[in-house]
Amino acid sequence: MKDHHPHGVEARRPLLRGVSLRGGASGGNIALLNAAQRQELADIATLARFPRGALLQQEGEAISAIFNVVEGVVKTYRLTEDGKRHILAFMFRGDLVGLYENGRYLNSAEAVNEVAAYRLPVAALEKLWERDPALNMAFLSKACHDLRATQRHEIMLSRRDARQRLWMFIDMLLPQAEESNGGGENPRLTLPMRRVEIADYLGLSAEAVSRGLHALVREGKLRLHGLHQLEVLDRGELAAAAASG
Amino acid sequence: MKDHHPHGVEARRPLLRGVSLRGGASGGNIALLNAAQRQELADIATLARFPRGALLQQEGEAISAIFNVVEGVVKTYRLTEDGKRHILAFMFRGDLVGLYENGRYLNSAEAVNEVAAYRLPVAALEKLWERDPALNMAFLSKACHDLRATQRHEIMLSRRDARQRLWMFIDMLLPQAEESNGGGENPRLTLPMRRVEIADYLGLSAEAVSRGLHALVREGKLRLHGLHQLEVLDRGELAAAAASG
DNA sequence: CGACCCATTGATCGGTCTCAAACATTGTGG
DNA sequence: CCACAATGTTTGAGACCGATCAATGGGTCG
């Protein structure tokens, strides 16, 4: 991990990323909070850090706070009675972790790598919602955004072919990486998670993920640079797949 | 279809069903709107009726309104480039149909049977949100509720076994039916949708749905009464499956 | 009452899971 | 800094389950 924060002083306050309900300017991901709202949230937030593998929250636990990811990746998951684990989402900078129901967390959340996140106490947060309708609206937008993302994940899972699921997965992650990238050459993508985590996200075995990735390499669509970095070669076809997904 | 409305005069206004964010009284499904809010929505709403198979909205279409289901069942779905259809959700009384992004519907929506729904123009609705923070909060609760439902659907899809997916599906639908049921004998469930629709919802073929249902019958967990009504025999084990899913 | 749509049943095929083993990577302590 | 251990990844062989194709049977709606 680098010592200097890559996002500068702007990262020092909570941030919500998503697509606004009303058609935004670009249509892409935008910040859902203005400076004043970010300050409001900062006033009730404390920054927490988690090493890889640390639990942010556990399924069934009584809620106290939700987290706003600043840096690193968090996975939310649930365990089935046969001991398998299904990963519901990977959460990145600007995402919210801690969906709850009847005062209890629904899912467990674990740090995939080194994570920094703002801790937002629920009591204080709900008070803010009552006071500021625009803030409430921002969280509604974020909830709808997460709903769309979950639906998209569902579409991924409905594909029978392991290769197609992986291809959609890569397409989903690409926009995140492209900002840090100069748009010139082939886009490069860093997968911070392990193979088995991709597998649990896509409803596959770790072996099928490995085989699928290498199948895509053989087809000339992908190139692997080490275990956690890949280069997308066949961008055109990927865009087409994205349009239909 | 019966001529007399089963819910009486109370049905004459929009209704949002879901679990409140703060632990509600019962913990079960409750109405998220009070009488005043329902009237506010009624003032901008018009009641529309759709025969089976009618399209309420189409993927990619410019938005004008969202729908609040009063009676009947609506399915929301998306088509993949290979012509397959994935059903994202079945929407019942008190649900909202019409998730949108950048001014366009994300999914298509079709009436599964005879449907009545309130049409809520988006422009007027967004104006209401700005004016009434409590109403906004209710829609936030509803969005979180739908998010939970979608996650639950995801868990269903992560099961490899067709029988287990069906079992979870039945468990999901059971609470809806149990209200109309006296709680005495074995719960009965009406499936208004066709086999192929269940298949598209569960990521199976219609044949697999048929085989799975009859496998459950052979195991003594289920009994079929015609094509669209079933009786759940082994309630205990189902509750256990529900607790873990 | 007939035509169409839907549901069921059977046989075959393909893809992924599983188990098992070799291999690579990462992190650790000497 | 190196060697080692632990963890994670790749590859292979076989079994299983659901998709698909095809045909029959049952419901429903005109």
- Give the residues across from A46 on adjacent strands: A119
pLDDT given for residue A234 in this prediction: 81
Give the architecture (CATH level 2) of B2-156: Sandwich (2.60)
Across the 245 residues of chain B, what is the mean pLDDT of every consecutive 10-residue run? Answer: 46 88 68 94 96 96 96 96 94 96 94 96 94 92 97 97 96 79 75 97 97 96 93 73 51
Interatomic CA–C1' length for residue A145 and nucleotide D24, angstroms: 47
To the nearest whole number, what is the mean pLDDT of chain B? 89
pTM: 0.92
What pLDDT sits at residue B26? 58
Beta bridge partners of B111: B74
B228 touches strand D (CB under 7 A): yes
pLDDT of residue A47: 96
Q: What pLDDT score was predicted for residue B179?
A: 61
- Counted residue by residue, chain A has a size of 245
Q: Note the pLDDT of residue B243.
A: 52
Amino acid A26: pLDDT: 58
Q: For B188-200, b where at least 16 C-beta lie within 10 A, e where not — what string? A: bbebbbebbbbbb
CA distance A63 to A79: 19
**Chain A residues whose beta carbon lies within 8 Å of the beta carbon of residue B86:** 154-155, 158
Contacts of A103 (CB under 8 A, 6+ apart): A62, A63, B22, B23
Q: Which nucleotide is nearest to A193 (CA to C1')?
A: D8
Rounded Cα gap, residues A108 and A99, in angstroms = 10
Q: Looking at beta carbons, which residues of chain B come within 8 Å of A24?
A: 102
- Report the nucleotide nearest the CA of residue A206, measured to C1': D9
CATH class of B160-244: mainly alpha
Residue among B23, B154, B244 minimizing CB distance to A157: B154
The 3 state secondary structure assigned to B161-218 is CHHHHHHHHHHHHHHHHHCCCCCCCCCEEECCCCHHHHHHHHCCCHHHHHHHHHHHHH
Instruction: Please choose, from the candidates B132, B112, B111, B129, the residue with its C-alpha nearest in 3D space to the C-alpha of residue B120.
Output: B129
Structure tokens at B132: 């009434």
Domain residues of chain A, as ranges?
2-156, 160-244
The tokens describing B186, both together, are: 């074995």
**Which pair of tokens denotes residue A166?**
């992986």
> Measured from the CB, is A177 under 7 Å from any atom of strand D?
no
Residue B90, pLDDT score = 97
Using the structure, give the distance in angstroms from the CA atom of A233 to the C1' atom of C22, rounded to a whole number. 30
pLDDT digits (tens, 9 = 90+) for A138-196: 999 999 999 999 999 999 999 999 999 999 999 999 987 766 655 567 889 999 999 99
**Binary contact (B150, A148; C-beta < 8 A):** no
Tell me which nucleotides of strand D come within 7 A of a protein CB.
8-13, 17-22, 27-28
In one-letter notation, the amino acid at residue B122 is V
Q: What is the 3-state secondary structure (H, E, C) of A12-77?
A: HCCCCEECCCCCCCCCCCEECCCHHHHHHHHHHCEEEEECCCCEEECCCCECCEEEEEEECCEEEE
Q: Is the CB of B242 under 7 A from strand C?
A: no
B19 and A101 in contact by Cβ < 8 A? yes
What pLDDT score was predicted for residue A5?
A: 47
What residues of chain A score a pLDDT lower than 70? 1-11, 23-27, 178-184, 236-245
